[in-house]
């Protein structure tokens, strides 16, 4: 078994953030052209930012909540469950995310898939930045 800590450390660029609806349709919470990065350090710190690429000037804060996601903190890897835990220390909108977010991980070459453990119909796919 590969050392997951070595696989996960680095900078990853967003490929897509997608939700598959019960009818098979697809929804892209930040648009099909979303931008984003997630970074995992070798010291156990992570940060993530995802935004809608096509954004107009934000006149209402409530609109920004649908256009931008950002948080940071520590992370832990649970290789038995194939889960990475994000321990949220700061976020763009306080209270938006719980203190701990669990993501099921899967690696395929230079791609990393993260799925919320409680929502199997959602995937955030990342590609390693080299």
What per-residue string of b and e applies to 79-88 under the rule 16 or more CB within 10 Å gives b?
eeeebbbbeb
Instruction: Give alpha helix (H) positions in the chain.
Output: 4-8, 61-67
Nearest-angstrom CA–CA distance, 56 and 84: 34
Domain residue limits, the chain: 4-128
Residue 82 contacts by C-beta under 8 Å, 6 or more apart in sequence?
A: 104, 105, 106
Q: What percent of the chain has pLDDT over 70?
A: 86
Report the first-to-last Cα separation within the chain, whole angstroms. 23
pLDDT score for 103:
96
- Tell me which of 1 and 49 has the higher pLDDT: 49
The pLDDT, as a whole number, for residue 1 is: 42
Encode pLDDT of 38-85 as tens digits: 999 999 999 999 998 876 565 555 556 668 889 999 999 999 999 999
Higher-confidence residue of 117 and 60: namely: 117
Q: What architecture is the 4-128 domain classified under in CATH?
A: Beta Barrel (2.40)
Whole-prediction pTM value? 0.87
């Amino acid at each position: 078994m590969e050392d997951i800590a070595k696989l996960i450390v680095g900078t990853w660029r967003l490929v897509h953030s997608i939700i598959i609806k019960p009818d098979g349709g697809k929804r892209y919470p930040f648009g099909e052209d979303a931008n984003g990065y997630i970074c995992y350090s070798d010291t156990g710190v992570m940060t993530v930012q995802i935004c809608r690429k096509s954004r107009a000037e934000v006149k209402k804060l409530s609109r920004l909540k649908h256009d931008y996601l950002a948080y940071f903190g520590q992370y832990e890897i649970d290789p038995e469950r194939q889960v990475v835990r994000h321990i949220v220390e700061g976020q763009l909108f306080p209270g938006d995310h719980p203190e701990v977010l669990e993501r099921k991980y899967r690696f395929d070459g230079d791609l990393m898939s993260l799925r919320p453990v409680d929502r199997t119909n959602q995937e955030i796919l990342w590609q390693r930045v080299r």
